[in-house]
Structure 1
Amino acid sequence: MADVEIRPSYATQLLNWPWVLIRFRCDHRPRRGDAKLAACAARYGEFITIGEPLQIFRRSCPNSPEMRQRRQQKYGLKCTGYLADLGAPPPPNLPPTMAAWTVIDGGKKQA
């Protein structure tokens, strides 16, 4: 069985999310949040997509169009919440201390 690198997307289920944390970020406001994968799976179920917790994060944003206190604006700011790890390659299966050693050319000179 070949190791195929599959990058996660918004349709990835929590069951298949390769990281232990779900990292939420926003560009317009100093908002950020980290959620543990196990806690999200226990609360919402392991078969929901990763996009659903992101929608919950976006709903709490003051720039969200779903906020009832906010008037509808045609050209106003919109929530730009995103998942920081989306599109990144999956983490390695082995910790760095267990990975193979790499020989670097031009190392210590022979006496």
Structure 2
Amino acid sequence: MGLHGPCVVLRLAGKLSVTTEPVLQRRLEQAIAFRSPPWIIVEMSGLSELRGTDLGLFDEARRRIEARSGRFILVGPQGLPPAVSEVRPSLEQALRELVDEGVGRFHR
């Protein structure tokens, strides 16, 4: 987990599994609690596999973030259902978009 200005960026790599899912859940909860409204980007280009349960985890995080007027963007995977999240092809594009929207004016 890292900060890029007012955005929290989670970088995922390898394979998500039953044993790593609770760790990801905790990281998402930490990121959501870090700033209000939460602006979170999950960089997934390093994942080797994405399961349906992973999508459910991201969908739940997106709902919680949007309920707090935040933004949740996935980076990397193309072809995800729009209901899951906004998807961008690169971290740079996602960050640029949030900066252009004036995300920097939000502070804790």
TM class by shorter chain equals under 0.3
**Which has the higher relative contact order, 1 or 2, with Cα contacts under 8 A spaced 6 or more apart?**
1
Q: TM-score, normalization: structure 1?
A: 0.25
Per residue, is there more helix in 1 or in 2? 2
Q: TM-score, normalization: structure 2?
A: 0.25
Per residue, is there more strand in 1 or in 2? 2
